[in-house]
Chains A and B, each alone.
Chain A
């Protein structure tokens, strides 16, 4: 039953690959995604109290953190599938290309759904590489010069990271082997961590942090991210920014405690410094950009930095806040890219300076964009506001006052940067005669559905979800 979660995505991909099935491809993808979402929510319900569900011992094992992540992936998968339907139709894409897009899209979802389910570190690495490989052709889908450039940069930097990470994985296996254990799983690693040779552990840590860091988009390895996340079709951007980066960050967070036991590695300090550099650099770059999709892409770099900083506190409160932020960011960022997508449909340009008076051109796109910017910037009463507050509070509890001050400052800079650009686009009289294009119904629905968790989680954290957050943070296991 659990294995059905990734398999449904593969089946949907196979269906879409059949030449005759062309017209049904979008519908099949949406149905598969909804089925995956309902299975994931059921799983989260079962595991929210804690405990482990073993499907294949040593290979596929799930806990509350994995279930939470699966639900997030499934949520964005479902809304992105719905959004793709109308988005591709509005672009007059040929039927065979729509079919190929959906086949690839489902496979991409499959690669991400597999990562939280897997327990074997070698396999986790393979699926991390697969997330890159299966999304390259989605990034280049427009086959324009810009899209090809973005896809190439994305390919080179993320695979470079993966190659560095694979050496890290091998060195980690070596270190595990030196302790006499061969159980290359999350639990096996945690159990043996204290006995691993110091030099190997340090080497593996650096390789894995750099390798996976490139894939998360940590500054200075972030240069591919704004390119890929702005050139891909908007629903793909929602998947890339909303969940792909989060899934890889999940892998880094789970590896954290393997290394955190060795005080000479200063794992917490590394996380905090890299996190703060990413937050700061992204907040400043965000104010400079001239493309509203890049604006949201830089905001992803910022949020990855915030989560990494929270995890670097190495406290239970920091972990709860980090997982909470992971959840809030994924839900909100996908919404932002749908808003960017409808704006693109309504105006035909990604250039911030070219759009003035969006409120007059398309009231729906303007409202969505403003809503997205406020929500991701961390304005109350939305989900990100509460999770960012939890992170700042965790920092104060850990007496990391400088960290809290810097983080708060960068968050405020990013907030005003986002709002400045978006209000410039939304307000004022339209500069030129608008080319009115109707926003497809499925796009509007996807946007509204994606907005639901952002609003609800901003005012009310259901008991079951709060419990799931607590037990997910226990899986990360800060001392």
Chain B
């Protein structure tokens, strides 16, 4: 049984795509960039040493799960959420929701999603997808990263939903519960932008926001000492490209999607300054893409000497400078 009228749509990012999909199915005409922007999805964080990571890494979006909670606050939509200790109960509840024709989003460990080739799969507990039905014991999965719906056997879905470790999903599922009669988009957009500016400019944590970018620029010079050998370093440097472009960001580490949000927000709020800023952010995004390309190139050529890493560091620092100016202008434009 596949849920009636459920339309699978590809999206740039799994969490914003999943939420957009549930809202669209419920009858709310909203785009992924609007969901992302209102939920203050844009972010930056650098993690130099964390026990859960093998190597230093960075993030370009806010905390997983926060898009949903921010959106609930700002649009007054309600999602019903569930988490479980008992996998049997967790799977039974999902089946019951599907029987009631309710498309249900699930948080899973991407590693067990065996509709993805094995070499692409990594352990990451914060992948979101929509379970859109069940046929002959297999779950019908609407994963925003794939052009078509996929099938997944129950055991793999259960392993993914109940994986342990950092940010373990604990069987977490949610579905749309209630849409408000009216939405004040003006207020929601303003709040979303203000919070994003706070995250980028003022959050009092040295490895987050613009401060995080500068830390990344400094610390990338130390990356060789964390690597097993040149091939490992090459792999990690090339991952910069993956994290910015391929890992569901819509390009340039979400900068292009946020620019799209600002363009749509300009029309909805009647604030032309946001349109100008959206163009500026597109250009800033081009700079991030240059970083992606540069990282991929030096990684592939194993050209990873101190001079190249210094060049990379300067490029990241440059992004920190332009984004600091950008978010200050954005903050001013919205106040």
Do the two chains bind?
no
B residues sitting closer than 8 Å to A (CB atoms) are none
A-to-B contact residues, CB < 8 Å? none
